[in-house]
Structure 1
Amino acid sequence: MDGILNILKPPGMTSHDVVDFIRRLLGGIKTGHTGTLDPGAAGVLPVCLGRATRVIQFLPNDKEYRVEIIFGLATSTGDTFGEVISRNSASSLTSEVLEEVLRAFVGEIAQVPPMTSAVRYRGKRLYELARQGIEVHREPRQVSIYSLRLVQLYGTGTPHPRALVDVACSAGTYIRTLCADIGHLLGCGASMSFLLRTRAGIFSLEEALTLEEVEELFREGRLSGKLVRLEQALEHFPAIYVRPGAVNSIKSGSPLYWPGVATAPEFLQEGQLVRLCTDRAVLAVARTVADSKRPGYYQFKPVRILA
C-alpha cells in the first residue's frame, strides 16, 4: 500500500502515536508523518505509507492553523501546559491594537525554537533535554508568516482576554513561539491555549479522516481509495515522461539523458527538481543538470528512486 493518508490527529496523542496506530493496523507497513503536531493540538497530519515515505522531504509543506491565544499569561513552554512565569492584566486590549501587532509579524521573521520542540541538539531532541530540566542555547531560525487574520477577540475588559487567529506560514514555524512573541510585543505576555492545524501542503481539514474512520475503512477493504497517490502528491514538480528503453536505467539510479525523454515541459532550469514518469507511475524525483556534452540540453539525475 503506497500513498498518503490525510489524518485528523486528535488532541492527547503524539504524532508518533498516530503513526504507530496506523502501522500496527496495516500490519507493520513502513509509515511516517510529514511534520510533528504537538500532543495537545489537533488537525491535519499527513501520514505516508510504503514508497510514499521516500518523498516526505519533497512534499509541499506550508501550513495553516487556527490558534487560540490567551493574553496576560506567559508560560515556560509557550502554551497553557507550562508553568506560568508572568501574569499581567490585558484588560485594555482591543481588536484594533491586536490587528496592528499581528501585521508586524507578517513576512519573514526570526524564531527561537522552543525547548519543547523536536529540534536536535548534539544528538538529542530539545524536548528530551527539557524533560531533564536542561535548557540550552538555540539559534534563531528564519520562517515566513504569509498571513495572520484575527477571527475573534473575546473577553475584552477582563484580565485575560482570548483571541482566535488564523495563521498561514512556512514549514518550521512554531505557533506557540509566535503567540509568546505577540504577547511580548503587546507588553502583557501571551500563550497558546489551543491549536488546530487546518491545512498541511495539499491536505485540508475538510478531507481529513479520524482514526476511527481509518480503522473502519481498512476493515471494509476501502482504505486504499482514500490514499493520495505519489503522482498527485508530486504534481508541483514538472513531469518528464520517459521512453520505455530508459526505464530500467532510471530504476538503477542512472541519469536520464535527453534521447531517453519522450516529452518534457518547454521551460526548465538548472537545478530544478522534476518527476520522471511513465504513463503509469512516477519512477523518481530528479534534478535538472546541464548536459556538458550537448550544449542547450539537460540530463536528469535521480535524487530519490521510487520505482
Structure 2
Amino acid sequence: MSNLNGFIVVDKPKGPTSHQIDSWIRDITGEPRVGHIGTLDPGVSGVLVMALGKATKLIDIVHRESKEYVSVLRTYDKYDYDSIKSVFKEFTGKIYQIPPVRSAVSRELRIREIYNLELLEMDEKLVLFKVCCESGTYIRTLCTDIGYVLGSGGQMAELRRTRTGPFDESMCHTLQEVSDAFKLKSMGNEKLFKNIFIPMDFIFIKYPKVIVKETALKNIAHGSDIYPAGIHAITGSPKKGDVVAVYTEKNELIATGTMMVNADEIYDLKVIDIDNVLIETGDNDGKDSLVRKDNRWKDIPVQKPERKLHGNLQGSQEWKDTGNRGNPKRGGTGSKGFSSGFRKRKAKR
C-alpha cells in the first residue's frame, strides 16, 4: 500500500467526470484513499485538487474556502460595456440562488456571496468575466440570472476554474505529467514527483497554529482534546470558532481543530471554580505552605456510632442470623466459642 499524504492539482480537461479523475489518480499513484475537492461538471475544465491518504481528512477545510472561475456568458441580445458592468455590480455581495436542475444537491433557495465580479472582455453577444465567490456558488445559475436581469436572457457558454482555496492554476499538472512523475519515481528519479506533490501543511500557511508539548502527543493521538497544560505556543490570534492547525515542537502537522475560546483567554481557563477554601496558608521556613491547624476541629461536634457489646447481641435477630456458629452450646461448630474457620493461637511459653 502507498503512503502518500498530500495533494496533487490536476488540470481537468473537458469530458471526464471528477469521479473518473479520482479513479485514474488512484490507479496511477497506488494510493487507495483519493478524493477531489469541489466537483467539476464534465464540460468544465481547470483546477481539480486531489487529496491523497490522510489529506482526504482535510477536504472539508479546503472546500469551505473561496473559489475563482473564468467564464463566458452568451446573451440573447447585444449590450454595451456600461450596461453589463452595471448589472455585475448588482450581483456583487450576497445573492440568492437556486441550484440548477442537474446538480448534486437539493434545489432549495440558498444565499451565496460573490466577492468580486470582473468584466474582462466583450465580443458581440459573448461576455468574458472572472468571478471570485463563496464555495457552493453555481456559475451556470449566475449566468442565467444575469441574463434575466439584462432583459433578453443568457446562458453560460464556457467555464474554467482557476483557483480553489490556496491552489491556483499555476500549480496544475496534466494527467500525463502525473503519470510520468510516478513512473520516474518508481525508477528512482523523484525530481518531477517533488514538483507536483504538495504536502498537507501547505493549506495552513495562512491559518493560526497551535504548538503542543511532547507530553500531550499521546493523548492527542487517542483523540483527546487539547487543554492549556499541553500547549507550548500559539501563533496568530485565533478567535473562538476559528480552525487551527496543530503542530509539534518539531514543526510536524499532527491535527486540526476548532478554537473553543479566544487565544488571549487560553491561559485564563479554570479547571475548577473554587467556592469555599477549607485550608489556611502558613509559613514554614520562609516558604508558603498549606497547613492544618491542630485545633481546627475542636468546635465541630463529632457524632460517633453507638458500639454494641457482644453480650447485647446475643438473643437479637442479628445474632440469630449468624447461625450461632461460634457457640458450641447453641449448636455452633467452633471450638471454645470460635468458628472452625479460624486457627487457634499458640499459647505463649
Distance 1:177 1:44 in 2: 20
Question: Which residue pairs with 1:158 in the alignment?
Answer: none
Instruction: Say if 2:81 is the partner of 1:109.
Output: no
Paired residue total: 257
Distance 2:260 2:179 in 1: 44
Cα distance change of structure 1 residues 224 and 53 upon mapping to structure 2, 3 Å threshold? farther
Distance 1:261 1:62 in 2: 31
Instruction: Say if 2:300 is the partner of 1:296.
Output: no
Instruction: Say if 2:209 is the partner of 1:239.
Output: yes
Q: 1:141 aligns with which of 86, 101, 110?
A: 110
Question: Which residue pairs with 1:64 in the alignment?
Answer: 68
Question: Which residue pairs with 1:23 in the alignment?
Answer: 26
Structure 1 counterpart of 2:122, which letter?
Answer: L
> Unaligned regions of 5+ residues in structure 1, if any?
73-89, 122-137, 156-160, 300-307
Cα distance change of structure 1 residues 284 and 21 upon mapping to structure 2, 3 Å threshold? same
Cα distance change of structure 1 residues 177 and 296 upon mapping to structure 2, 3 Å threshold? same
Instruction: Say if 2:152 is the partner of 1:193.
Output: no
Task: Report the 3-state secondary structure (helix = DSSP H, G, I; strand = E; otherwise coil) of the residue aligned with 1:289.
Answer: coil
Deviations 1:159-214 (A, max 9, x none): xx111111111100000000000000011111111101111111111220111111
Taking CA–CA contacts closer than 8 Å with sequence separation of 6 or more, which of the two structures ends up with the larger relative contact order? Answer: 1
> How far is 1:277 from its partner?
0.8
Distance 1:233 1:266 in 2: 16
Distance 1:176 1:282 in 2: 38
Matches within 5 A, 1:2-151: 2-59=5-62, 61-72=65-76, 90-91=77-78, 93-119=79-105, 121=106, 138-151=107-120
Higher strand share: 1
> How far is 1:226 from its partner?
2.1
Task: Report the 3-state secondary structure (helix = DSSP H, G, I; strand = E; otherwise coil) of the residue aligned with 2:95.
Answer: strand
> How far is 1:228 from its partner?
1.9
Q: 2:245 aligns with which of 260, 275, 299?
A: 275
Deviations 1:128-181 (A, max 9, x none): xxxxxxxxxx221111111111111102xxxxx111111111100000000000
Alpha carbons 1:288, 1:298 under 8 Å: kept: no
Matches within 5 A, 1:258-273: 258-265=228-235, 267-273=237-243
Alpha carbons 1:176, 1:192 under 8 Å: kept: yes
Question: Which residue pairs with 2:306 in the alignment?
Answer: none
Question: Which residue pairs with 1:206 in the alignment?
Answer: 170
Task: Report the 3-state secondary structure (helix = DSSP H, G, I; strand = E; otherwise coil) of the residue aligned with 2:22.
Answer: helix
With normalisation by structure 2, the TM-score equals 0.70
Alpha carbons 2:238, 2:244 under 8 Å: kept: no
Task: Report the 3-state secondary structure (helix = DSSP H, G, I; strand = E; otherwise coil) of the residue aligned with 1:54.
Answer: helix
Alpha carbons 2:120, 2:130 under 8 Å: kept: yes
Distance 1:297 1:225 in 2: 44
Please identify the structure whose Cα radius of gyration is greater.
2
Q: CA RMSD in A?
A: 1.9
With normalisation by structure 1, the TM-score equals 0.79
**Between 227-236 and 31-40, the greater mean CA deviation after superposition:** 227-236
The sequence identity of aligned pairs, in percent, is 34
